[in-house]
Amino acid sequence: MMTELEQRQQQVIEEFSVFTDWMDKYEYLIELGKELEPMPDADKTDQNIIKGCQSQVWLTANFADGLVTFRADSDAIITKGIIGLLVKVLSDLPPKEIIDADLHFIDAIGLRENLSPTRSNGLVSMIKQIKMYALAFAS
Amino acid sequence: MSFDVNEIRKDFPILEQTVNGRPLVYFDNAATTQKPRRVIDKIVEVYTQYNANVHRGVHTLSNRATTAMEESRKTVQAFINAESEREIIFTRGATESINLVANSLGQKYLSADSEVIVSEMEHHSNIVPWQLLENQGKTKVVKWAFDDRGELNLAELEELITDQTKLLAICYVSNTLGTINPIEQIIAIAHSHNVPVLVDASQAIQHFPIDVQQLDCDFLVFSGHKIYGPTGVGVLYGKEQWLNQMPPYQGGGEMIETVSFGGTTFNQLPYKFEAGTPNYVDIIGLGEALRYVNSIGLENIAAYENELLKYATDKIQTISELRQIGTAERRASVLSFVADCAHPFDIGSILDKLGIAVRTGTHCTEPIMQHFGIPGTVRASFAFYNKIEEIDVFYEGLKRAIKMFK
């Protein structure tokens, strides 16, 4: 049986499969970014900033009923779309599933190879931070 | 000579390519410039015909490499009209040149109560080396602020200079704002108070002629890769009287006269400051780049690039969603702007997918961003191989990007 995480990844891959052109993929990321619920300003603290991104990215995590819930925001819209995608795939899962997650959808939708190195590093930093939170809640 | 950009573009092999399915539009020239074929060929020539470590070699190849490297030094000397080739020190780049002066001068001339004036529009390379000295208690860094157009006020400089001022470190052209500072007047003011001046010419050397004797600057630095030369090579020009008084920066081979455990004596200028095997291949490449620029003529380059800048500035100003950052009366080749509807990074990402290379972010000038209260800018910077038609493509790309984010 396909896990919840795998189902979500497959869904994202399917959504992106209709785009033939990178501009369309960006349009979609921009949409995702705009749809992402803005984070309260009070949470946009230095402590919640993810380092290694050219734009500012904030991430918070909550642990309740065995599940980790993430919220994220960025001052750049495309970046917000990307972190939104990660939140969509990884939020509301048990810590262990997040820690062990093999995020193959990133390669499948061409995100990793098509993002500039600075952004690519940003993506790596985002995933690292998400997993760090899960690790903290797992212990 | 008549200036034919289509002919010039044939000299730059990298420009004939598509990026993301579209013809490359390279507007990131302030970060680095592309290389003409003859510079690339020159590097291949050295490696295939006379690669050998320079100086002190008795054999033929070493002599050829040495001659070619010293030929480059003469080319640089003539290019900036230095009085002597002893005043031309090869470094890894403008950053190393500034660090050399900061360390060497710092050791001998600066102390806790010294002051170094640094403008607010400097690249981090011309701020941090002075702050490192400050952290060691060897000087105080004094900021010379600019106004909201990106211009420095000369009367303020007069007020900032005190008896403790030991140096003024300033860029000729701002890499973010494009401002051309009135460097001759600035130097004259500083000198009237016996304050020496270090000029960061990294964004000026490739755009218009520079004569160090006419400017009367004490130090001038630039990087080779920003003037169509290879990466990893830069120049420090210093007046001989200064360089003679300054202690060596790094120790090693070539910079010594004799070495013993009883004590070491140092080589003459310029070798005193060139420890270790120099990057002779790229130094030779830089000489070739300067000869190439001479063959086009810096006056021709300046006139054409000014046309590009004016055309691009006028175009940008018609897009109401964009706000230009840096509106000084005299600017060179750099156009910075922000949009309310999108982060610079967003705009740069879309432009990239349209084959247009611009730089986004702080451009290593965070104090400028703090001045304007912005996270960064989108920066388009032009070179003489760019075309008016490319600015039209850029303009359409910008309009498309803004439509996506609005």
Same domain, B225 and B347: no
Q: Are residues B175 and B279 in the same domain?
A: yes
The reply to whether B22 touches chain A by the CB within 8 Å rule is: no
For B118-141, write each residue's pLDDT tens digit: 999 999 999 999 999 999 999 999
Residue A125's pLDDT is 86
| Mean pLDDT, rounded, for A14-29 | 90
Q: What residues make up the domain containing B129?
A: 40-294
Q: Residues in chain B, how many? A: 406
**How many A/B residue pairs have CB atoms within 8 Å?**
42
Which residue stretches of chain B have pLDDT < 50?
none
B352 and B319 assigned to the same domain: yes
The verdict on B285 and B316 lying in the same domain is no
Of B243, B262, B294, which closes a domain? Answer: B294
Letter string b/e over residues B283-301, b meaning 16 or more CB atoms within 10 A of that residue's CB: bbbbbbbbbbbeebebeeb
| Exposure letters A103-130 (e unless 16+ CB within 10 A, then b) | bebbeebebeebbeeebbebbebbbebb
Q: Is B111 on the interface with A (CB under 8 A)?
A: no
| Of the residues B272, B294, B316, the one at which a domain ends | B294
Contact A77/B342, CB-based, under 8 Å?
yes
Report the candidate in B398, B400, B151, B178 with the shortest Cα–Cα distance to residue B309.
B178
Rounded to two decimals, what is the model's pTM?
A: 0.93
- In this structure, the answer to whether residues B332 and B400 fall within a common structural domain is yes
Is residue B336 within 8 A of residue B174, CB to CB? The reply is no
CATH of the domain at B374: 3.90.1150.10
Domain identity same for B60 and B188: yes
- Cα→Cα distances B104→A56, B256, B257, Å: 38, 16, 19
pLDDT at A121: 62
B190 with B321, same domain: the answer is no
pLDDT band of residue A119 (cuts 50, 70, 90) is: low
What is the structure's pLDDT at B83?
A: 98
Above 70 in pLDDT, residue A42?
Answer: yes
Domains and CATH numbers, chain A: 4-138 (3.90.1010.10)
Across the interface, of B343, B353, B376, the residue whose CB is closest to A23 is: B353
Q: What average pLDDT is seen over chain A?
A: 89
Question: Encoding tokens for residue B265?
Answer: 């004596």
Of the candidates A26, A54, A119, the beta carbon closest to that of B350 is on A26
B355, B251: one domain: no
Domain count, chain B: 2
> What is the ipTM, given to two decimal places?
0.86
Q: Report the gap between the CA of A56 and the closest CA in chain B (Å).
A: 9
Please indicate whether, in this complex, the C-beta atoms of A116 and B343 are within 8 angstroms of each other. no
* Residue B196 in domain: yes
Q: Are residues B309 and B335 in the same domain?
A: yes
- Angle between helix A22-35 and helix A4-17 axes, rounded to 10 deg: 130
Question: Which of B294, B316, B349 corresponds to the end of one domain?
Answer: B294
Does residue B281 sit within a domain?
A: yes
- Is B288 a member of any domain? yes
Coil, strand or helix at B117 = strand
Assess whether B282 and B305 both reside in one domain: no
Q: What pLDDT score does A110 carry?
A: 83
Q: Are residues B302 and B242 in the same domain?
A: no
Instruction: Please indicate, yes or no, if residue B35 is contained in any of the structural domains.
Output: no
CB contact under 8 A, B405 and A55: no
Residues B319 and B382 in one domain: yes
DSSP B125-183: GGTHHHHHHHHTTS-EEEEE-B-TTS-B-HHHHHHH--TTEEEEEEESB-TTT-BB--H
In this predicted structure, which of A51-65, A82-96, B132-146, B288-302 has the lowest mean pLDDT? A51-65
Task: Check CB contact of B405 with chain A, cutoff 8 Å.
Answer: yes
Q: At a CB cut-off of 8 Å and minimum separation 6, what does A127 contact?
A: A86, A103
Lowest mean pLDDT among A73-87, A115-129, B166-180: A115-129
Do A77 and B343 make contact, defined as CB atoms within 8 angstroms?
yes
Whether B214 maps to a domain, the answer reads: yes
Q: What is the CATH number of the domain that holds B244?
A: 3.40.640.10
**pLDDT surpassing 70 at residue A48:** yes
A22 and B361: CB-CB below 8 Å? no
Q: Is B83 within the bounds of a domain?
A: yes
B212 occurs within a structural domain: yes
Chain A hits for B361, CB-CB cut-off 8 Å, are 54
Write out chain A residues lying below 8 Å of B352, CB-based.
116
Q: Is residue B287 in some structural domain?
A: yes
